[in-house]
Amino acid sequence: MIFNLRQANLQDLEALIQLRLELLRETGEIKGDSDTANLAEATRKYLGEKMPSGEFLAWVAEVDSQIVATSGLVFFQRPPYNGNLSGLEAYIMNVYTIPMWRGLGNCYSIVKGNYQLCESN
């Protein structure tokens, strides 16, 4: 299966929110038929602020223009140390693939792209 790997943008916002909610359901952070409207709105606000500023970056894998996998990267700064004098670090998160698309290497490719970005900074 051929998939397109690209950095997400604000046009992908609703798909990113839905994939995050699915991830949280699968990990048990969202129980049953919980109302997710407030969580979705808080996520929309967060991504709407952090993506344009570069504080949160996301990648997606698409098949036939449908996003089937995603991964996020959050930068943070801690006090410098010998191995990292800038203190800038990144946290890879929100790694999720729609169940029917698992096992095809989508997330591996996305996380590899995140890692390469971190190495270049």
Condensed to tens digits (0 to 9), the pLDDT of residues 31-49 reads 877 789 999 999 999 999 9
**Contact predicate 15/67, CB 8 Å:** yes
Rounded to the nearest 10 degrees, how much is the dihedral formed by the CA atoms of 112, 116, 119, 121? -130
Q: What is the pLDDT of residue 111?
A: 55
For residue 114, pLDDT over 80 is answered with no
CA atoms within 13 A on the CB side of 81: 5
Predicted model pTM = 0.80
CATH number at 54 reads 3.40.630.30
Number of domains in the chain: 1
* Residue 100: band (very low, low, confident or very high) from pLDDT cuts 50, 70, 90: confident
Q: What is the pLDDT of residue 112?
A: 58
Domain that holds residue 116: 4-120
